[in-house]
Amino acid sequence: MKRRLDSDMGFTLVELMTVILVIAVLVTIVVPLYANARKLAELRACAATRTVVERSDHAFYVANARRPASVADLVGTYIKSTPVCPAGGVYAWVDQADPTAPARTLGCSVHYFPTAPLSPLGSSFSEISTNLMTLMAKYYAAHGHWPSKKTSYADLGLVAADWTKPIEHLYFSTSGSRISIRPEKDYVITVKRPNGKTVTLTSKDDHSLLYSATDKAWYYDEIDHDKVITISSMVVKPK
């Protein structure tokens, strides 16, 4: 009798398999719903963030009769902190306003970018420099050496003519294992060294930021370990 009671209190294999099957079905239903809900929440949060930045940009224009050099110029006075897309998208202006239509539209590489990017590799410093690094690394992995200094653009599958104009006030160029960034006329780049000191680079005298693919580090003016900088501290602004 005791054995029968003990047996009655347990689950048969069929019952266990049924429970597992039900759980699996619920997971296949709930997980996509959760993922879609999360994507929708990220989309709405990103849209709200872009709206705040666009209104702040317009307020800056009204108060100063000029556009901010970058979104970073709005932080502190017009917005509390640097705007971030919850899905990791890159923000960039998709149009340039004129005096008759001063409002601009902020695009997101993940959620909203109705026009073509400003370059074949993106519209922002982060996007372009990251993609250049990726192309250089892929080239090295495939050929065992860095692109030629004379034909770097072609080696990377790029067209040199696409890089003759500034993008978000920056000129980008590549040569061999290096990426060079310099500001356009009337703009400067400020960046900090590891010791906290600020370095200011102008368009004169070929001042530039340099990325070395061989040691994966950023420098200013020349590849020298005494000139390493913290690229995350970079700010582009008018003189």
**DSSP calls for 169-227:** TEEEEEETTEEEEEEPTTEEEEEE-TTS-EEEE-SGGG--EEEETTTTEEEESSS-GGG
Which residues does 150 contact at the CB level (< 8 Å), separation at least 6? Answer: none
Structure tokens at 219: 């420098």
Q: Give domain limits for the chain.
A: 28-108, 125-238
Residue showing tokens 């919850």:
86
**pLDDT reported for residue 5:** 47
Instruction: Return the pLDDT at 15.
Output: 77
Position 66 scores a pLDDT of: 80
Q: Which CATH class is domain 28-108?
A: alpha beta
pTM for the predicted model, two decimal places: 0.57
DSSP string for residues in 85-115: -TT-PPEEESS--BTTB----EEETTTB--S
Rounded Cα–Cα distance for residues 227 and 212 (Å): 12
Q: Residue 178: left if φ>0, alpha if ψ -120 to 50, beta else—which one?
A: beta
CA distance 228 to 221: 10
What's the pLDDT score for residue 118? 79
pLDDT of residue 186: 84
The tokens of 3 are what? 């054995």
User: Which letter does DSSP use for residue 78 in this model?
Assistant: T
Give residue 197's pLDDT: 92
Strand 198-201 to strand 170-175: parallel, antiparallel, or no bridges (unpaired)? unpaired
CA dist., res. 71 & res. 227, Å (int): 27
Average pLDDT per 10 consecutive residues for the chain, totaling 239 residues: 51 79 79 77 90 89 81 87 86 66 77 76 84 92 92 91 88 92 89 92 83 93 91 85
